[in-house]
Amino acid sequence: MTIARDISPVVFRGEPDNRLRELGDSQRPWFFTEAYSQAKLYAGNQKWPDPKDEPVACVLTGRTVLDLTVPDRADARHRAIIDALTMEFDDWTCRRSGEPRDPWSFIEAGDLYDYEGTGSGERWNALFRIAFEQADAVRVLDLTDGTSGQPVPVWVTHQRDAIRMATLGEELGARLEQQPWESIEAWLEGHHPQAGVLERADRMRRPDHDHRADRVHRVVPPRNFDAMGINGAPQPVYRGVPAAYEILPGDWIALNARYASEHGGRGQAAFVKRLPLVHPEDIFWAGTDESEFLYLPAAWRREDVSREEYLRSLTTDQLRMFCDGEMASLTRYAREIRAVEDHVHNAFDAEVCGLYHGPDHSARVSQHALAVSRSLGIDPLVPYIFGLVHDSQRLDDGADPEHGPRAAAFVRERRADLFGFLPDDALEALAMACDLHSEGQTQGDAWVRACFDADRLDLGRVDIVPDPDYLCTEYARRPEVIAAALAMSGQGGEDFIEEDDLEGRLQRFGA
């Protein structure tokens, strides 16, 4: 079965009650605009009782989208749809000029709906009815009142399950591209006070480096420092939050789960959430008692900037993770990730590959992937999945030099039914990392480098101390990170390892 994925950017729809109707069909689809300012134009005849009401931000999902904003006569799908539309109606006379008009020109100019005037839309509706036979959503130009005489792209779908609400991080990213800061600040304060976006941004802009976990021993008495539980190495952090929340950059945190459970945040029943392997440089004492800290990861810190400059400086992924959490993509795709994990587990031969490249190794690689991704400020989804699949096509527990290319082929071949939730660039990065992970390379985009380091940090399982020269990121090269990785992987495999040189061992046992 083909997996659905996001097929649109953040799009907006005018809904006075902030709720989407539940029923629709090809004659009554949902319309969305890419521009926030135009969303209320598509609210129909509904009244906006409160001027403070906001358009609804959504993302469309599915398998296929038909983009008719630039109709192409050489495109077989475009030609089939517009030919079918042409044949359905006998008369294509322009109601303004009285002259015959090519149906393609209505699609190109965005005035197909205007052809019949407001209230009819037979041709407009017929276009979508025909297009929905081939696509889950349609993107098309539309010229309507309020667009200053210029056609604008609209997104249309007739399937309610193809519409998901945009996350706060996704919507904020779209608004930052379209709205003045004053409007965004008022929206955050008025509609999302519980998210604490502005307060957390303030903490990320003004960290007190004397309170950093690797320095705080200089400013507090030894007795107080000993009570803090700082161990000088990457360690887990905790926060009590409602079930739907994650630990966010700028949040209050604790270094033990019990304290987090007893001091849940955001005013609701708390579940204890955990982030593994957080580096001491990302943990700051809050300055209250010995158990309260702030999570201020370096990749998200921007000092001496305004709130607006801070939020606009974040990449799209960083902004999304700042608002939704580093683990949000893993949570969102938990079912799909479990399907990948189950497939790999069911096909795995523990007798052949279970000693050094089995589930324990994969689990540690995925944990390291979270930490390395955090240090780079990137979404951990691709590196985490890499941990699950990079050794999944091994034929033995030794060198097996072709296991990487086989894993890459597996990822590409199972795109539709296992990895279809990944965007194209993410899937190609995953395949490339699998292909090259045991070749000793240290170059590549951030996703690929995070994959390489996550795997190599677990070399201790075959009695190899990870060599910084073979690592790709500053985080992975840190002595305390390597020491923590060795402690995680143990020192097993003494009988399997011969006393040969490091390069030879890397080549022999792969990664």
Residue 41 is predicted with a pLDDT of 73
| 105 neighbors 116 (Cβ within 8 angstroms) | no
**Cβ of 503: how many Cβ atoms within 10 Å?**
11
Domain with CATH 1.10.3210.10 in the chain: 333-509
DSSP code of residue 466: P
Per-residue pLDDT, 97: 77
| Total number of residues shown for the chain | 511
Predicted TM-score (pTM) of the model is 0.89
The three-state secondary structure class of 12 is strand
DSSP 8-state class, residue 357 = S
SS (H, E, C) 165-188: ECCHHHHHHHHHHHCCHHHHHHHH
Phi, psi of 317 (to 5 degrees): -65, -40
Tokens 């199972």: give the residue.
Answer: 414
- Distance, in Å, from the CA atom of 379 to the CA atom of 370, rounded to the nearest integer, reads 9
CA-closest candidate to residue 65, choices 27, 126, 9, 106? 9
Question: Options 1.10.3720.10, 1.10.3210.10, 3.30.990.10, 4.10.220.20; which CATH number does 333-509 get?
Answer: 1.10.3210.10
pLDDT by residue for the chain (511 residues), tens only, comes to 567 789 999 999 987 666 777 777 667 889 999 999 888 776 654 555 565 678 899 999 998 999 999 999 999 999 999 999 999 998 888 777 788 889 999 999 998 887 765 556 788 889 999 999 999 999 999 987 666 778 999 999 999 999 999 999 999 999 999 999 999 999 999 989 989 999 999 999 999 999 999 999 999 999 999 999 999 999 999 999 887 789 999 999 999 999 998 887 555 556 899 999 999 999 999 998 899 999 999 999 999 999 999 999 999 999 999 999 999 999 999 999 999 999 999 988 877 777 788 899 999 999 999 999 999 999 999 999 999 999 999 988 888 889 999 999 999 999 999 999 999 999 999 999 999 998 878 888 999 999 999 999 999 998 899 999 999 999 999 999 999 999 998 853 333 333 334 444 334 334 4
Q: What's phi and psi for 250, nearest 5 deg?
A: 95, -5
* 125 burial level (CB within 10 Å; 0-12, 13-18, 19+): middle
Please choose, from the candidates 478, 482, 474, 471, the residue with its C-alpha nearest in 3D space to the C-alpha of residue 511: 471
Measured distance CA(450)–CA(383) in Å, rounded:
6
Distance CA 290, CA 222 (A): 12
* Cα separation, 115 vs 127, whole angstroms: 13
